[in-house]
Homo-oligomer: A and B are copies of this chain.
């Protein structure tokens, strides 16, 4: 059975203005690769309802799993939950179990529940909450869409909650071979070897360090033995 497919949607003006550098895509990519879930696409859109709705609907129709990050805080620019409800065509309102989670947390931290914070208890109808140990406000899962916070520590905590609930596949394994030859000099034999191992994928990532030009050849696949055989072929032919 092929591995499940996935996409990520990063939501936030701050990424597209260059103020903030996204850190969640790289983390999700590593976790999904280890879990055997093929991350096929990522999109970044601004805090704009129409843009979020369109992207979520495009991605959830196409991939088995969609993860969003960002836009679920208490301020006016946090419109993700409402946009997801709109995308699914379902109502959204304050949910008592989400409110209770937050009130219990605020009782400890001495904060007060107010109108702004209550917005974070707004959950689309039919969703399952994603609790997290870092902050009180939950994310949520609606069908195959998992809506998480943008703050990296909270995103990670939420992903750790969700990952065990997903059906993974075979972990994507990889082996890297460092070659201190220019990419243009190894491309010919590399292409030939890649053709011989159609069940594996071969990437070449050039580098230059202290005047040394080279490339890291990365072999990816789900069969460790085959990767080992291909790595030996590359070491023979190129290394």
Chain A residues in contact with chain B, CB under 8 A? 13-22, 25-33, 39-47, 51, 73-77, 111, 114-117, 119-120, 151, 172, 174, 182-188, 190-191, 194-195, 201-206, 215, 218, 220
Contacts and interface: CB of A to CB of B under 8 A. Distances in A.
B17 A21 contact: no
A82 B53 CA distance: 32
A147 to B, nearest CB: 17
A203 B13 contact: yes
B187 A116 contact: yes
Given A41-B45, A73-B187, A116-B187, 14 more contacts: A14-B218, A15-B29, A16-B39, A18-B29, A18-B32, A40-B51, A41-B46, A41-B51, A42-B43, A75-B204, A77-B203, A116-B183, A116-B185, A116-B188
Interface of A is mostly: mixed
A76 B116 contact: no
Contacts of A203: 13-14, 19, 47, 77
Contact of A182 (B111, B119, B182): B111
Contacts of A188: 114-116
A43 B46 contact: no
A46 B40 CA distance: 7
Given A117-B184, A185-B114, A187-B74, A21 B15 contact: no
Q: Which residue of A51, A172, A191, A195 has the most chain B CB atoms within 10 A of its CB atom?
A: A191
Contact of A174 (B19, B31, B187, B191): B19
A59 B172 CA distance: 30
A202 B77 contact: yes
Nearest to A34: B18
Given A19-B174, A77-B204, A111 B184 contact: yes
Nearest to A32: B18
A26 B18 contact: yes
16 contacts: A14-B203, A15-B29, A16-B29, A16-B42, A17-B33, A17-B174, A42-B43, A43-B43, A47-B203, A73-B183, A75-B183, A76-B194, A114-B188, A116-B184, A116-B187, A120-B184
